[in-house]
Structure 1
């Protein structure tokens, strides 16, 4: 399977051949094409082509619900229950039943919002909707309780939250013991949960609950179950739609306010720059009156005079450290400016939505793991006609990478 385009948050992929795997892809694509509710990993388009099957899919999430440390707070667990239940209502409305809902098939985006994935076992038999309802009940019980929970953990929460937890657990356990013909509708269950936990919250971000272990990027593939990639070359592509916000990892971007003429004269004509900046010194604040005359900051200020710069309009930026490669897309497919910084030694692509307009550190907006990459450069995506980042791998394979912005 190869990626042909990744603009606008959708990835156009091609799978060649006609074997059983391709049949599974076609089958799942047909099911997911019926799903239009938000929060669902869905096939955007599917088309038969001469050498196989082509489909576009939307990717989201970088970790699953199973990575959270239990028990979750009653507000967070109820929030997940309501969000997942609402999504189930939407897919049930078009006749789709997930049929295998569990914590590994619920991904969390960078804001902590859940997304249902793993539709390979999905069914279009509406008589099986009860399976999804039962799975949602079990999933909520799983979030609320844990075999490792202690009484001291309970005492660490507010009394009203403990009461809400006990009541919600009692209600869910009572549902789990009912026969199918006695089960309330999904809508009735969600109304009851909302009434029991009026403070149900959603989207508190990754820090809202601890992660049991550090996770690599989770790739959601329509043709299989979710898998964790280990620095695969597809990791940045599979992670489209996510933003791992780096709050403390400033890369030492600097701005000097030179005239447009000076910036043009002293910067390379290419948008791809080899950056030679000492990171430890670049972390310090930079302020030098000589920058106003077009002179690059001298070595005493922490940045070597020969360090290349990245020009954006009339402003010039210093970014990264020795060995890094920087690319500016101005504008990108969103008609905005994006700055990409690739660090070969760690195989990480840093992305900046904007740079500071004063002489301060700027932290990257997001980052993606890359592997076996030989170079990055600015290019025009042949499928979209807009500026995109071209990634060339060690084997000579070349892909266009356009990271969609999070709404």
Structure 2
């Protein structure tokens, strides 16, 4: 996906200077943007995602009415051969914003690439789908939990379509499971040879079952077409499958670039797809357990106490199905396929992913149920903690700025985790999609 960008030149602009900067920018961002033929300010614009201003001019002030009349799409100001905006242009950028124009002036190439990707994604989303497999989302093995989850509601499905253009296609989970079971062991063994991943599953059966599920999912994705994300009601409908989809998600992402989500959570999938498609970082969905949540969290993870730290109110555990979170191998410092932790629920023939990323800055985020705002939380991954025999075999210990504020404003028990300091990039993505930021 590349954004469609049209460069616009002011009448007073030196053409040689315009061409000099524009030629460099086209080369710097050739992977993120398709650059259309330049246009003189005031002339009709071609169909594009945004306007690029490679050179600013006094016309910004003297001909603002003409600019407002001519430009009805967002403006990106990048006015140097370094791929960022010039500091002397900040005043004119602020002026354009004060006149009601939507303007972006990235201070880094990383941020500029995110902005270009966001505009491309906004256009492409309108023809994309999420493919979700489920049969009885509100019932199943643990209905006391799943009945209260918002993502099963028709309102959630409708709002995703209205806000982003993505269509959610739902198919029977049992049919997918039966299709996977019908694949021969020999075909699965051949498929395994294509891949390189470290596994500590003691028997062949769980590995073959996971690969068969991947093969069935891949076929469904190819048949449906335009699938950007997938999910199954894996925990609550585990009785339909002889495995878990953890490995299948990893392989599907590597093979087809399709995003995944645990438990069929379309709200989290929407967040993960939005951020994972525009920001170059490792990304995953997991559960968050602030220490302030107390005994319900400890009981759920079957642990006696949280890790001992000097400021417990500002700490939390990140753990899902026994480990840090189900994520693809890309961007991880450790990735191992292990036997399941929740075997009482998903069966001994299942698998789980034990993955880690480097310690250091993380950025947590989650779209609100209404999709009108996004929560952003800066955090630091301090350690990995292990509780043998519990449901937290290898969780992430994180520190946040203010645990009480986090508890007041948290949107969900599911959070999306991006490695690094990504708040400025997430804010830019939110601006492109006209989503409010709750930081």
Give the TM-score range, shorter chain: under 0.3
Q: Could you say which structure has the higher helix fraction?
A: 2
Normalization by structure 1: what TM-score? 0.28
Higher relative contact order, chain-length normalized (CA < 8 Å, sep 6+): 1
